[in-house]
C-alpha cells in the first residue's frame, strides 16, 4: 500500500478510487499466499508436522475490506485456492477492552496515516472479523483472565486434533 501512497499520494481511504487497483490487489494477495503456502507451510505438512499460523485468510479478507480493496471474485479465489485450516480461532475482545490493553493503537494509526479514532478503528475491525468469520470459526472470548483463555484455546485445539 506504501507504493500507492508514494506514487499517487493516496491514503487508505482513497484506494477505492481505482477498480483496477482493487481487483489487482486481490490477485496479488492470492499469489503471495500461494507462494507463502508452498514455501513455508507445505513442507511442514508433508513431514506430518502440526502447523500454527497467525493471520491467515480471515485476516487478509478483513484487511482488504478495511482498506477498500475487497472484491468478491478475488476473495472467493483466495478462500478456494488456499487450504482450509483444520481449526480457525478468532480471539474476540470488545474494542474498549482492546484499547485499554493496547496502548499504541493511536501511534500505529498515525504511522499508517489512518485518519480514525483508535476506538472506532478497533470497533470497525472487530465488526469486520465477525462479519467474515464463517460458522467454522471458533470465537474465543479473551476478556477472561489469560489462564482461562489459554485453557479454552488448548481445549479447542485438542478437540480439533482429535476430530481430525
Give tens-digit pLDDT for 97-149.
Answer: 999 988 888 898 888 778 889 999 999 999 999 999 988 899 999 999 999 99
Cell numbers 485476516 correspond to what residue? 59
Nearest to 79, CA basis, from 44, 23, 125, 29: 29
User: Using an 8 Å Cβ cutoff, are 106 and 121 in contact?
Assistant: no
Bridge partners of residue 46, in order along the sequence: none
What pLDDT does 25 receive?
A: 78
Q: How confident is the model at residue 16 (pLDDT cuts 50, 70, 90)?
A: low
Question: Has residue 7 got a pLDDT over 60?
Answer: no
Write the DSSP assignment of 90-137 as a string of letters: EEE--HHHHHHH-TTHHHHHHHTT--S-HHHHHHHHHHHHHHH--TTE
pLDDT of 88 strictly over 90: no
- Per-residue confidence (pLDDT) for residue 151, from 0 to 100: 93
- Is 154 a residue whose pLDDT tops 80? yes
Instruction: Tell me the pLDDT tens digit for each residue of 34-77.
Output: 888 899 899 999 999 888 888 778 888 898 888 877 888 888 88
Q: In the chain, what are the domain boundaries?
A: 2-163
CATH topology of domain 2-163: Rossmann fold (3.40.50)
The confidence score (pLDDT) of residue 57 equals: 82
| Global confidence as pTM | 0.79
Over range 13-37, report the average pLDDT. Answer: 77
pLDDT at 13: 57
Amino acid at each position: 500500500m506504501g507504493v500507492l501512497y508514494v506514487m499517487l499520494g493516496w491514503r487508505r481511504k482513497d484506494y477505492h478510487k481505482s477498480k483496477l487497483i482493487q481487483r489487482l490487489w486481490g490477485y496479488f494477495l492470492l499469489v503471495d499466499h500461494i507462494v507463502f503456502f508452498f514455501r513455508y507451510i507445505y513442507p511442514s505438512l508433508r513431514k506430518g508436522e502440526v502447523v500454527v499460523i497467525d493471520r491467515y485468510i480471515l485476516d487478509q479478507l478483513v484487511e482488504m475490506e478495511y482498506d477498500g480493496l475487497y472484491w468478491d471474485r478475488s476473495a472467493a479465489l483466495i478462500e478456494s485456492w488456499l487450504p482450509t485450516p483444520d481449526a480457525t480461532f478468532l480471539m474476540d475482545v470488545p474494542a474498549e477492552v482492546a484499547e485499554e490493553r493496547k496502548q499504541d493503537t493511536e501511534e500505529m494509526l498515525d504511522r499508517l496515516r489512518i485518519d480514525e479514532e483508535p476506538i472506532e478503528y478497533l470497533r470497525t475491525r472487530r465488526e469486520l472479523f465477525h462479519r467474515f468469520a464463517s460458522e467454522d470459526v471458533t470465537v474465543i472470548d479473551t476478556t477472561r483472565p489469560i489462564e482461562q483463555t489459554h485453557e479454552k484455546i488448548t481445549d479447542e485445539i485438542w478437540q480439533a486434533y482429535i476430530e481430525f
